[in-house]
Structures are given as structure tokens and as C-alpha cells.
Structure 1
Amino acid sequence: MSLDRRIHFFLCLTFWISLVLGHMIDVKAAQKECFFEDLHVNDKMTVTYQVGAGGHLDIDFWLGDPLDVAIQKDFKSSTGTVSITAETDGRYTYCFSNEMSTLQDKVVSFNVHGVIYVPDDGTIAPIEREVRDLAVGLQAVKDEQEYIVIRERRHRDTAESTNARVVWWSIFQAVILFCVCGWQIYYLQSFFEVKRNY
């Protein structure tokens, strides 16, 4: 591999790595959060998102091209993956909308990753192709791990909430039991006292 090819390979890899982003945001009730990426023709971008907390764990998602024409719309989704290949140069916008909720804030975790298009004119080495394929596979594994972490957090919160409810219900039952026992003792005692008076 010549020096020019090595430099070209490492520049492409650096650009690809720079397109990988992971975020966790709070989307306030009745609000919308928007982000953008500047893409060129044939660049690829994938947005993976999941609602981690708030309300019914749903969010509206919108992805639009540079002319603000909707490419993808998801309504009340708790998780989703959207992949596009840019057909024109420009700024592609994606938004998470919580406008349907007037009370509940939502926590959204999302990843954005992409591949900058480099025309394959036969000069790309097979090892570079393999590295690109491995990078795409590694990103898919990373997305899946983040999805699992968020689900585990959600299940743990549900288990802790259920545990707290069981504890309070048990305390309530114990208080009711003591009250009923106290009332029965008092009633029986008063019953026998009344019998003695006759």
C-alpha cells in the first residue's frame, strides 16, 4: 500500500469516526428538539433512538431533507432506526417532538452515525473495504448495547417501583390487621362487660 493510499485510508476512517455521535437529551413537555447534519450526495446517515423515561415512553420523530420535505415520520414510537442515503447536498434535519404531551418530559437516547461516500474507482484496497465493513458491524453492536442498557434501566425502574408498592401495601395491610384485631378485642371485651351487668 503506497503512502498516498494510507493517508487516504486514514482520512476516510477519521471522517467516518467523526460522524459517529451518541446523545441523551431531555425533551420537555410540549416542546421539540431538532438537530442537523450536513451531507453530500451518496453519504449515508443512520439515526437510532429510544425513549428511556417519561410518560408512555413514546416520542414523535421527523427527518427531513434540505428542502424540509419529510423523508421519515414516526408517531408515538418508543424506539426506531432510520437510515438514509443523501440524494442532494445540504443540511438534513431530524427532530424529536414531545408536543403531544402537556405534562410529561421525555428522556431520549439517540445515536447518529454515517459513512462518507468515497467512490470506488478500483484504488481502494481490500483491507480498507474490510475495515469499513468491520466499522459498520461494530457500530451496530454499539447501538444494540446502548439499547440493552436503556431497557435494563427501564426494567430496573419498574422492578423498584413495584417493590416500593408491595412494601407500602404490606404496611397498609399490617395496619388494617392491627386495627381489626384491636376493634375485635374491644368489642368482645365490651360484650362480656355488658353480660356481667345483667
Structure 2
Amino acid sequence: MRVATFGLALFAAAATVNAITVTVEPNTNECFFEELKTGDTLSVSFEVGFGGDHKIDFSMLDATGRVVQVAGQQNSGFYTVTADRDGSYYYCFNNLMNDNIGKQVSFYIHEDHRPKKEEKGSEPLAEELRQLSRNVLDVREHQDYIIQRERMHRNTAESTNDRVKWWSIFETAIVLGVAFFQVNYLKRFFEVKRMV
């Protein structure tokens, strides 16, 4: 019974985290929303993985459509809004400044719903469970962030290695061509012409 209560409390206290990767095409604005109740907290962290200068515009709107957070040309960020009324809260990624390159954005949504008041005896345990849940989710977010960064750096390294390989092949072909030309030219230069 006690284990079931503990598991139920952990499940109820856990904040939710969702990881999403989208491609924001050139000249577009991608918006998403979450339904929040008064007092809930919505946090969005994002990272631009690929595309152009790796920068994008970000904004958050409250339930009335008023802009509450705005960030221009960022490659990553963490923004939070606390709901002052029930409704849909939007967060948008804007790629309107770029006319020809789509950008891949990975973002994480953290919703912290205010729990209902619990019985007096279970408050410290429930608060500890909520804190533990937040810590676990923070570790998971950091791991996802490190995986995304590692993927970006690996792709950059592979691209650089590919360019170095093709440049080396091109240089080798040029050196062999010049050597062949020089040998033939010198051979003809020192040829003795016989008169008959």
C-alpha cells in the first residue's frame, strides 16, 4: 500500500517534458501551444541544430495573444512564462529573416502544473518527490542537449573531413599533372635532333 501511494505521488508530482525537433522552412513562422491553468508554469528551451547561421527568432504569447517573451536571432535559449489566466499559451519560432535556408530546431517543453493541496502529513514527502522529479528531468534535458551538440559537432567534423579528402585528391591530381608536364617538357627540351 505504501509503495503504491509513493508511486502514485511520484506520478502525480512529476512535471512533464516533451522533446521535439522541427524544421522551420525559410520565410515561415512555426507556432505551438500548450493549455495552461492559472498558476501553471511553461518553460521552453531550444537549440538550433542545422541551417544557415544557426540563429532563429523566438517569441511566447499569453492566453490573450500578448507577447510576453521575445528573443531575436538566438541559437539557443530558455524562456519561462507563468500563466496568469486559463487558456492557450503559444511559443513561436520565426525564420522570416532567411529566404533560402530551413533551420532545424530542437526544443523541450517543461510544464509544471501546480498540485492541489494535499493532506498535512504528506506535504514534505510530496515536495521532495516534486523536487526529485524536477532534478531527474533537468538531468534528462542536459543529456538531450549534449546529444544534440555532439551530433552537430560530429556532422561538422565529418563535413570538414570530407572537404579535406576531396581537396587532397584535387591537389594530388594537380601535382601529378604538373609532374607529368614537366617530365615531358624537359624530355623534349633535351632531345637531340639529328640532321639527315
TM-score, length of structure 2 as denominator length:
0.88
What amino acid maps onto 2:129 in structure 1? Answer: V
Q: 1:47 deviation in Å?
A: 0.6
In structure 2, distance between residues paired with 1:130 and 1:11: 10
- The aligned runs of 1:92-107 (5 Å cut-off) are 92-107=89-104
Q: Quick check: 1:76 aligned with 2:73?
A: yes
In structure 2, distance between residues paired with 1:114 and 1:102: 33
Alignment match, 1:144: 142
Residue number among 67, 82, 85 corresponding to 1:85 in the alignment: 82
Alignment CA distance shift 1:127-1:14 (3 Å): closer
State the secondary structure of the residue aligned to 2:114.
Answer: coil
What is the root-mean-square deviation of aligned Cα atoms in Å?
2.3
In structure 2, distance between residues paired with 1:197 and 1:62: 86
What amino acid maps onto 1:84 in structure 2? Answer: V
In structure 1, distance between residues paired with 2:33 and 2:9: 23
State the secondary structure of the residue aligned to 2:190.
Answer: helix
Q: Percent identity?
A: 36
**More displaced, 19-28 or 119-128?**
119-128
Residue number among 31, 48, 52 corresponding to 1:51 in the alignment: 48
What amino acid maps onto 1:106 in structure 2? Answer: K
In structure 2, distance between residues paired with 1:21 and 1:182: 62
Q: 1:142 deviation in Å?
A: 1.1
Q: 1:110 deviation in Å?
A: 0.8
In structure 2, distance between residues paired with 1:87 and 1:12: 26
In structure 2, distance between residues paired with 1:10 and 1:43: 20
- Where structure 2 has 5 or more consecutive residues not aligned to the other structure, the ranges are none
Say whether the 8 Å CA contact 1:24–1:107 is kept in structure 2: yes
Say whether the 8 Å CA contact 1:22–1:110 is kept in structure 2: yes
Say whether the 8 Å CA contact 1:55–1:104 is kept in structure 2: yes
State the secondary structure of the residue aligned to 1:156.
Answer: helix
In structure 2, distance between residues paired with 1:185 and 1:172: 20
Say whether the 8 Å CA contact 2:10–2:126 is kept in structure 1: no
Q: Quick check: 1:116 aligned with 2:124?
A: no
In structure 2, distance between residues paired with 1:165 and 1:156: 14
Say whether the 8 Å CA contact 1:12–1:116 is kept in structure 2: no
What amino acid maps onto 2:177 in structure 1? Answer: C
- Where structure 1 has 5 or more consecutive residues not aligned to the other structure, the ranges are none
In structure 2, distance between residues paired with 1:14 and 1:177: 70
